[in-house]
Chains A and B, each alone.
Chain A
């Protein structure tokens, strides 16, 4: 079984609508990373969360890590075509601060329709 579960696997959203992607683990997440990937390209770093209850925002994207550090959510407000792509959560499950080793979820494919 996957150590990191992402949901949903795919999402089709009308432009301007809000959406949420979830990332869940049965283990404690010592560092939770969100990346975006477009087809044919590498991973673009979005945000990193470490502390339970932490929340970070960048432009219209907000990421949260729950108090137990086993679940994270990525929320996009007023979605735009530029938000389309694959969103991946990656986590360090081994408390290797300073020497991280990431395990990834399978990704969420986001499509924005006009």
Chain B
């Protein structure tokens, strides 16, 4: 079974430029997450999708970050304009959604490393 695919793996941009990251979740997984992991810290949730709807984007800096999942499958996370403090690994994750009383395994991709200079 293919895992969560992300691209690009590495990106270096200058501050005030824009960047976009792509994620393709595991087939059949309705829930998709974008996390930001700054060096030395644990991942922090940016946005959670259920199919093509947003479940939680309370920690997404909406003045510069945007994300979409138009067809309920793959997703794009965009940063415009980038700041130095956006340097981090952007992790995409996916899980089945059951809505029941049992937990689901959340699988992560390899991550997209962003360096803003």
Contacts and interface: CB of A to CB of B under 8 A. Distances in A.
B and A form one assembly: yes
B103 A43 contact: no
Nearest to B98: A98
A102 interface: yes
A107 B42 contact: yes
A105 B37 CA distance: 11
B100 A45 contact: no
Given A42-B111, A43-B91, A106-B42, A99 B99 contact: yes
Interface residues of B, number: 33
A90 B4 CA distance: 18
A101 B56 contact: yes
A88 B31 contact: no
B100 A43 contact: no
Interface range for A: 20 to 34
A41 interface: yes
A97 B101 contact: yes
Contacts of B33: 101
B41 A43 contact: no
B45 A102 contact: yes
Contacts of B111: 41-42
A97 B56 contact: no
A104 B56 CA distance: 16
A5 B15 CA distance: 33
Given A98-B101, A106-B40, A41 B95 contact: no
The 8 closest A-B pairs by CB, nearest first: A104-B42, A43-B108, A98-B98, A31-B103, A42-B110, A98-B99, A42-B108, A98-B100
21 contacts: A41-B111, A42-B6, A42-B91, A42-B108, A43-B91, A43-B108, A44-B108, A45-B106, A45-B107, A97-B102, A98-B97, A99-B97, A100-B31, A100-B103, A100-B104, A100-B106, A102-B43, A104-B42, A104-B43, A105-B42, A107-B41
Interface of B: 4, 6, 31, 33, 40-45, 48, 50, 55-56, 91, 93, 95, 97-111, 113
Interface of A: 4, 30-31, 33, 35, 40-45, 48, 50, 88, 90, 92, 97-107
